[in-house]
Amino acid sequence: MNQSSGRYLDDFAVGQTFGSGRLRIDKEQIFAFAAEFDPQPFHLDEAAARDSIFGGLAASGWHTAAVTMRLLLGSELKPAGGIIGAGLDECRWPRPVRPGDELRVECEVIEVRPSRTTTLNQDGEAVLVHVVNLVVLRRKDIRQD
């Protein structure tokens, strides 16, 4: 992304919402992410997952978070300089992501500083909710080319 394109801090206002496209999470992706970063039985083995607290195969919460980032980058949020998180507040995983789920993101500006992001599955159910403290440049921070 060209750093001189996109929205500046001055362009964001409370109540603005931004949506994203959809990404389908398949079983192989759940296995691949978990094998590298979160190798626990309920992310790697369907039989073990059925006997776990999840009651079936579930994506790692970090996989859901990473997919959320990917969806945000494709959304209309587009802060100038890119999407740079200084931190998160109140990150929750209210329900598991299952193989075949299609995720999309709804993002709402709740202050000029932070924004709330919700990742939903194909049934409109929240799978990840967090408050992101984005670094967003003021127009004067970047020379206009």
Are 30 and 67 a contacting pair, CB within 8 Å? no
Residue 62's region, left for phi above 0, alpha for psi from -120 to 50, else beta, is: alpha
Q: How many residues bind a copy of itself (CB under 8 A)?
A: 38
The sign of the dihedral angle between the CA atoms of 53, 32, 74, 66 is positive
**3 part of the interface to a copy of itself, by CB under 8 A:** yes
Identify residues 90-129 at the interface with a copy of itself (CB under 8 A): 90-93
- Report residue 20 as tokens: 């994203």
C-alpha dihedral sign at 119, 135, 34, 90: negative
Q: Which is nearer to a copy of itself, 12 or 42 (CB)?
A: 42
Contact between 41 and a copy of itself (CB under 8 A)?
A: yes
Least Å distance, CB 64 to a copy of itself, is 10
Residue 50 interacts with a copy of itself (CB under 8 A): yes or no: no
56 binds a copy of itself (CB under 8 A): no
